[in-house]
């Protein structure tokens, strides 16, 4: 069998490591085109050498020399900077992982769609900021967009072979995050370390803190709205502390199709890697008899104000997703820097959305990448300029 050409954007991150874990188990099956990272040059170079990538790219233009040294005489090409990232995305590949964190993943993902292969989308920011643009470009270039976020992979799998018109609603589950048992009154005191440990999933720092605030779930609700073309009233979220049911699709006949599995991203990544087939994956199997119980409850809006904001964003449409994501990223930066409290993040994001709505810069007809990135910058500035108390 001819090896499949694959590229992994964000190869040094949590999604990237899980993707490369699957690739390393069957190296003959893949011809690695490009691997990208940002600051972690050692891991990037190691993976590129072992997997014999054509090119290793750091998006940080100042790290080219470090990367060259780390690649030694391996024959792997080194490249650095934003231009190099886009050039890597232009290199034809059959399957590309979009695993960069943040809005930085949007432009390379859009470029990768142009060669008409498969884009495995872990970077949820792409859908939140630019859902209609991503879908339009995928259709235009004949590319396949597959969800990797576990909940969206679960929904996608529960939709296989079904009539989309028969879907009544989708239910996205969430663990409630690392602070779910804290009294609401203590949440303002939570530190990044408190918020940065997850009860079930092992993920990058930013998404783990976003899980504690449920900003991650808010992003996922918007992502589901865009990916599956569902109106906000047909999307719900429920807290499910065990993280074993990843999402559910309810059909008009009352059937509720749940996707269950161990919380291991290699399932969703592997599903996207092998789609439309299913292949064996090295993930734990659930022992139903040992699973004492499955709990579900509605999220408390006072504890998780981000969820309400997600529905406001879906209803506002246009640039609201880009503004929401940027404000959320900037608020998280301020929280990590110790400038604002945990609970200030949702308050500040709501304020930025209010300002943008009031000043009329949420509106746009079919926004393109430049308009989206401009709204992103404006939202970050707006958040930085908010009063500190
Ligand atoms: P990590 O922080 O673990 O990894 C991020 C990756 O992006 C790293 O390769 C990092 O490079 C690279 N990177 C960081 N900043 C930039 C930049 N400015 N330009 C280009 N590349 C950059 O994140 P995760 O793997 O957790 O998440 C990646 C994406 O997948 C996010 O959108 C997240 O929401 C989504 N996701 C993640 C899940 C998970 O289990 N982790 C689950 C579902 C979705 P370096 O490390 O070298 O600096
Ligand atoms: Mg998820």
Based on the fold, state whether residues 97 and 223 are members of the same structural domain: no
Based on the fold, state whether residues 204 and 181 are members of the same structural domain: yes
| Last-in-domain residue among 147, 171, 200 | 147
Based on the fold, state whether residues 258 and 377 are members of the same structural domain: no
Based on the fold, state whether residues 61 and 108 are members of the same structural domain: yes
Q: Which atom of ligand 1 is the closest one to the Cα of 265?
A: 40
pLDDT tens digits in sequence order for the chain, 389 residues long: 899 999 999 999 999 999 999 999 999 999 999 999 999 999 999 999 999 999 999 999 999 999 999 999 999 999 999 999 999 999 999 999 999 999 999 999 999 999 999 999 999 999 999 999 999 999 999 999 999 999 999 999 999 999 999 999 999 999 999 999 999 999 999 999 999 988 888 888 899 999 999 999 999 999 999 999 999 999 999 999 999 999 999 999 999 999 999 999 999 999 999 999 999 999 999 999 988 899 999 999 999 999 999 999 999 999 999 999 999 999 999 999 999 999 999 999 999 999 999 999 999 999 999 999 999 999 999 999 998 76
If DSSP codes are grouped into helix, strand and coil, which group holds residue 204? coil
| Last-in-domain residue among 98, 116, 147 | 147
> Does residue 252 line the site of ligand 1, with CB under 6 A?
no
> Does residue 157 line the site of ligand 1, with CB under 6 A?
no
Based on the fold, state whether residues 99 and 166 are members of the same structural domain: no
In a domain, 357, yes or no: yes
The overall longest dimension of the chain from CA atoms, in Å, is 62
DSSP of 54-84: SEEEES-GGGHHHHHHHHTTS--EEEESHHH
> Does residue 16 line the site of ligand 1, with CB under 6 A?
yes
Q: What DSSP element (H or E) covers 144?
A: strand 144-147
Domain count within the chain: 3
CATH number at residue 350: 1.10.1740.10
Q: Which atom of ligand 1 is the closest one to the Cα of 13?
A: 4
| Last-in-domain residue among 114, 147, 180 | 147
Based on the fold, state whether residues 112 and 187 are members of the same structural domain: no
Which ligand is nearest the CA of 151, by number? 2
DSSP of 229-275: T--GGGEEEEE-TT--EEEEEEETTS-EEEEE--S-HHHHHHHHHHT
Based on the fold, state whether residues 83 and 211 are members of the same structural domain: no
pLDDT value, residue 389? 64
In a domain, 280, yes or no: no
CA dist 365 to 240, 283, 315, 361, Å?
37, 43, 15, 12
Based on the fold, state whether residues 300 and 336 are members of the same structural domain: no
Based on the fold, state whether residues 142 and 212 are members of the same structural domain: no
Based on the fold, state whether residues 136 and 173 are members of the same structural domain: no
For ligand 2, a single-atom ion, which residues have Cβ within 5 Å? 149-151
How many angstroms separate the alpha carbon of residue 1 from the centre of ligand 1?
31
Which ligand is nearest the CA of 208, by number? 1
Based on the fold, state whether residues 154 and 302 are members of the same structural domain: yes
Q: Which atom of ligand 1 is the closest one to the Cα of 201?
A: 40
pLDDT value, residue 387? 84
Domain containing 198 equals 150-262+288-306
pLDDT value, residue 105? 98
> Does residue 10 line the site of ligand 1, with CB under 6 A?
yes
């Amino acid at each position: 069998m001819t090896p499949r050409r694959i590229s992994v954007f964000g190869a040094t991150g949590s999604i990237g490591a899980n993707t490369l874990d699957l690739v390393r188990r069957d190296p003959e099956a893949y011809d690695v085109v490009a691997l990208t990272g940002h600051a972690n040059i050692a891991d990037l170079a190691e993976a590129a050498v072992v997997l014999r990538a054509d090119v290793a790219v750091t998006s940080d233009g100042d790290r080219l020399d470090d990367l060259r040294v780390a690649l030694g005489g391996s024959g792997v090409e080194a490249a650095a900077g934003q231009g190099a990232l886009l050039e890597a995305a232009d290199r034809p590949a059959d399957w590309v992982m979009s695993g960069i964190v943040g809005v930085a993943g949007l432009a390379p993902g859009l470029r990768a769609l142009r060669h008409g292969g498969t884009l495995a989308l872990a970077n949820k920011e792409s859908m939140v900021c630019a859902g209609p643009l991503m879908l339009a470009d995928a259709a235009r270039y004949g590319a396949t967009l597959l969800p990797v976020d576990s909940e969206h992979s679960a929904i996608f799998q529960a939709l296989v072979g079904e009539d989309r018109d028969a879907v009544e609603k989708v239910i996205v589950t969430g663990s409630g995050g690392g602070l779910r048992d804290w009294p609401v009154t203590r949440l303002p005191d939570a530190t990044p370390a408190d918020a940065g440990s997850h009860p079930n999933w092992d993920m990058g720092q930013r998404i783990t803190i976003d899980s504690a605030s449920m900003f991650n779930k808010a992003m996922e609700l918007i992502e589901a709205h865009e990916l599956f073309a569902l109106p906000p009233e047909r999307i719900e979220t429920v807290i499910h502390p065990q993280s074993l049911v990843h999402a559910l699709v309810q059909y008009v006949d009352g059937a509720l199709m749940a996707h269950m599995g161990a919380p291991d991203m290699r399932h969703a990544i592997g599903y996207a890697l092998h789609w439309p087939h299913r292949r064996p994956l090295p993930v734990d199997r659930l022992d139903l008899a040992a699973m004492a119980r499955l709990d579900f409850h509605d999220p408390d809006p006072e504890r998780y104000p981000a969820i309400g904001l997600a529905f406001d964003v879906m209803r506002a449409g246009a640039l609201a997703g880009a503004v929401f994501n940027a404000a959320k990223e900037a608020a998280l930066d301020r929280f990590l820097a110790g400038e604002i409290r945990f609970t200030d993040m949702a308050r500040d994001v709501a304020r930025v959305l209010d300002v943008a709505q009031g000043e009329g810069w949420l509106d746009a007809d079919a926004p393109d990448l430049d308009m989206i990135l401009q709204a992103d910058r404006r939202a970050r500035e707006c958040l930085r300029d908010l009063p500190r108390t």
